[in-house]
Amino acid sequence: MASPIIDSHQHFWDPASGGDYGWLSGPFEPLNRKFEPRDLHPALQANGVVGTILVQTWNDLGETWDFIETAANTDFVAGVVGWVDLTDPHVADTLAELQQSPNGKWLVGIRHLIQTEPDPNWLLRDDVRRGLQAVQDAGLVYDLVPNLPQLPSAIETTKTFPELRFVLDHMSKPNIKNREYDEWAELMQGFRRERRHVWCKLSGMVTEADWHDWTPADLKPYVDHVLEIFGPDRCMFGTDWPVCLVAGSYDDVMGALRESLPDLTAQQRDQIFGGSAIEAYKLPAFNHEP
């Protein structure tokens, strides 16, 4: 039986709420509006996607509380990757409060926008590592969202925490538009020995390509390399909706991944389009363990 299709990476936001959405300007100005569940639902239905991972958009605990409530009130958000302050000495208490709340089961992971930190080695700080230990103790995933400058520290962190499940977002955002491949490909090799507890999202590619002139062929070398490192059992489909809309529709993004994948078995494709997300995040709606 085929695994349910899970979009492992999507967002909601409302710039009017006062969040840190200054980046929704310039070329991203078309996205400077509210995006909510009813905006995404038709695309999910049209593509047979039954569940999503709702991912934090800025470093704010209030958003995390809002998102687990959103998950409880929709029929498709299967898990939330939220934010907590990893440097807070009381971060374990914050995680416990979230998990023990009525909607706490929907919290499946934590993420911090490390690419916005001035220090590319932010993840290696002692206070951050204490916070990551709390994430591990809480049984949650930690989503890594590095650009190339943060990639070495991200790899080092996965080695330091072999019992913590990590998910690498957007393949570490290679510059596909300018076909910058070699440095990214070499750095990504650092995950090879860590594959047992690290997964990679095949997401965020179209916004790193030429927004107006990309093809699935542009994505394929990067997809092939990630699959060679992680294997299909540790890769997962994600759209990065609605960010992706600046470069293509939901249908475009999903179709591009299908086309850029190599010749895989039906079981391997099912794993990428659903099984990996269910396993990595231990999604409550699909996890039938007692």
Instruction: Reply yes or no on whether the pLDDT at 199 is more than 90.
Output: yes
Q: What is the mean pLDDT of residues 151-169?
A: 97
pLDDT band for position 208 (cuts 50, 70, 90) = very high
pLDDT band for position 290 (cuts 50, 70, 90) = very low
Q: Which amino acid is at 161?
A: F
Instruction: Reply yes or no on whether the pLDDT at 113 is more than 80.
Output: yes
Structure-block tokens of residue 235: 């890769």
* Count of alpha carbons within 13 angstroms of residue 222, beta-carbon side: 30
Distance CA 13, CA 173 (A): 21
Q: Domain locations in the chain?
A: 5-281
Q: What is the mean pLDDT of residues 103-130?
A: 97
What 3 state SS string does 214-254 have? CCHHHHHHHHHHHHHHHCHHHEEECCCECHHHHCCCHHHHH
Q: What is the mean pLDDT of residues 188-214?
A: 93
Answer for the pair 60, 261: CB distance below 8 angstroms, yes or no.
no
The answer to whether the Cα torsion of 222, 48, 214, 266 is positive or negative is: positive
Q: Which CATH superfamily is domain 5-281 in?
A: Metal-dependent hydrolases (3.20.20.140)
Distance CA 168, CA 222 (A): 14
Neighbours of 249 (CB within 10 A): 15
- For 53-108, write each residue's pLDDT tens digit: 999 999 999 999 999 999 999 999 999 999 999 999 999 999 999 999 999 999 99
Distance CA 87, CA 239 (A): 30
pLDDT band for position 3 (cuts 50, 70, 90) = confident
Percent of the chain clearing pLDDT 90 (strictly above): 92
Averaged pLDDT of the chain: 95
pLDDT band for position 288 (cuts 50, 70, 90) = very low
Q: Tell me which residue of 229, 204, 224 sits closest to 214, measured CA to CA.
A: 204
Q: Where in the chain does DSSP place strands (E)?
A: 5-10, 49-55, 77-82, 107-111, 141-144, 166-168, 198-202, 235-237
pLDDT band for position 289 (cuts 50, 70, 90) = very low
Distance CA 175, CA 147 (A): 10
